[in-house]
Amino acid sequence: MAINVIKPGLSTTVQDLGRPGYYHIGIPTSGGMDTLSLAAANLLVGNAAGDAVLEAVFLGPELEFTADATVAVTGADMPPKVDGEERAGWTAFKVKKGQVLSFGFLKAGARAYIAVSGGIDVPVVLGSRSTYTLGALGGFKGRKLEAGDTLPVGARAGAAEGRSLPETLRRKPGMPAELRMLPGLYWHRITEAAGKNFFEDTWKVAPEADRIGYRFKAGRPLEFVARDQPFGAGSDPSNIVDACYPYGSVQVPGGTEPIVLHRDAVSGGGYFMLGTVVSADMDLIGQLQPHTPTRFVKVTMEQALQARHDRKAVLDAITAALV
């Protein structure tokens, strides 16, 4: 069984739950940006939650199937079509041999997850099938899909048609989006007033938002606490001696536009960070479109752990509903 790529979409990559363990040499975890939607898509078609799927951003691909398969599309609201006929999202449907899966225009969210029964069967590299495009590693030849590619698909009988995930279990960002953040790291580099402004302001997702990181603009610039720059740090007040960047960490080069690092994060660098978006809200970032109004919400560690617990409960409920 295989899938022929007729049109690749804007930036469609193979992703699973990622390859942790190599961040110390600069290889990030990669994997789906919205892992809850990724897991749901897999479970809907009868796959294991962490099988490899296609992650399509903003514009879906056009795919021809060489054998019958069960398919489900979750995440962004980007209506799937089989030979031009619309199918429901978050619901398993059949695609027959020779039929073409395509997509309507994006209505909400940013990333759609396309699971196919059997999973996308590209080689496992360092424990994962995820694509890390910056390092040309994993996925399909280490890159996004191109027209003419043929994707191998694993052999597995798919789940029955019509299985659907209840609306209440489809987690989506609010409006404005709210990202919970634990202050820390180099928070002490900015003034008290700047810290207050940062949480008060409504930011907007900038066009430079991808798998490496999401940039935000439209908030007030941050004022730094004056100091003599330490040896090796560089001359800008936002510079530090190059250090590791946590996933979800919020760096603000020059104090102007915050960047939240995501699954394909650069593992380190010389910009100060003022905190970290909690692990529970990383999935939501993957569904933000450019220009989406966004607020950072200050939380404590206790609240961060509660959010983690709540997210796990949603995943458990999704699993219970579909397995």
Is the separation of the CB atoms in 88 and 77 below 8 Å?
no
Check residue 125 for interaction with another protein (CB under 8 A). Answer: yes
Q: Which tokens sit at 128?
A: 């994962």
Site for another protein in 226-265 (CB under 8 A): 230-235, 239, 241-244, 246-249
Could you tell me the smallest distance in angstroms from the CB atom of residue 305 to another protein? 6
Could you tell me the smallest distance in angstroms from the CB atom of residue 71 to another protein? 30
Q: Which is nearer to another protein, 144 or 156 (CB)?
A: 144
According to DSSP, the β-strands at 259-261 and 213-217 are antiparallel
Which of 6, 67, 100, 134 is the binder for another protein (CB under 8 A)? 134
3-state secondary structure of 312: helix
Q: List the strands of the sheet with 93-95, edge to edge.
A: 13-15, 53-57, 108-116, 69-77, 93-95
Contact window for another protein (CB under 8 A) among 10-18, 108-116, 128-136, 170-178: 128-136
Closest by CA position to 28, among listed 181, 320, 246: 246
Check residue 315 for interaction with another protein (CB under 8 A). Answer: no
Check residue 176 for interaction with another protein (CB under 8 A). Answer: no
Q: Which is nearer to another protein, 79 or 270 (CB)?
A: 270
Q: What angle do CA 276, 282, 287 make, to 5 degrees?
A: 135
Which of 38, 69, 165, 277 is the binder for another protein (CB under 8 A)? 277
Could you tell me the smallest distance in angstroms from the CB atom of residue 191 to another protein? 18
Q: Which tokens sit at 169?
A: 């279990």
Check residue 278 for interaction with another protein (CB under 8 A). Answer: yes
Check residue 109 for interaction with another protein (CB under 8 A). Answer: no
Q: Which is nearer to another protein, 94 or 308 (CB)?
A: 308
Q: CA–CA separation, 54 vs 122, rounded Å?
A: 11
Check residue 123 for interaction with another protein (CB under 8 A). Answer: no
Q: CA–CA separation, 289 vs 105, rounded Å?
A: 14
Q: Which tokens sit at 153?
A: 């698909």
Contact window for another protein (CB under 8 A) among 54-62, 147-155, 168-176, 182-190: 182-190
CA distances from 56 to 29, 202, 300 (A): 18, 28, 34
Contact window for another protein (CB under 8 A) among 6-14, 52-60, 193-201, 268-276: 268-276
Check residue 127 for interaction with another protein (CB under 8 A). Answer: no
Q: How many Cα atoms are found within 13 Å in the side-chain-facing hemisphere of 52?
A: 25
Site for another protein in 15-44 (CB under 8 A): 20-21, 23-27
Could you tell me the smallest distance in angstroms from the CB atom of residue 28 to another protein? 8
Q: Which amino acid is at 25?
A: I
Check residue 276 for interaction with another protein (CB under 8 A). Answer: yes
- For residue 87, the tally of other CB atoms under 10 A from its CB is 18
Q: Which is nearer to another protein, 124 or 136 (CB)?
A: 136
Q: Which tokens sit at 259?
A: 């960047």
Closest by CA position to 274, among listed 179, 198, 180, 177: 198
Tell whether the torsion through CA atoms of 9, 13, 17 and 18 is positive or negative. Answer: negative
Q: Which is nearer to another protein, 98 or 123 (CB)?
A: 123
Give residues in contact with another protein (CB under 8 A).
Answer: 20-21, 23-27, 125, 132, 134-138, 142, 182, 184-185, 230-235, 239, 241-244, 246-249, 266-270, 273, 275-280, 301, 304-305, 307-308, 312
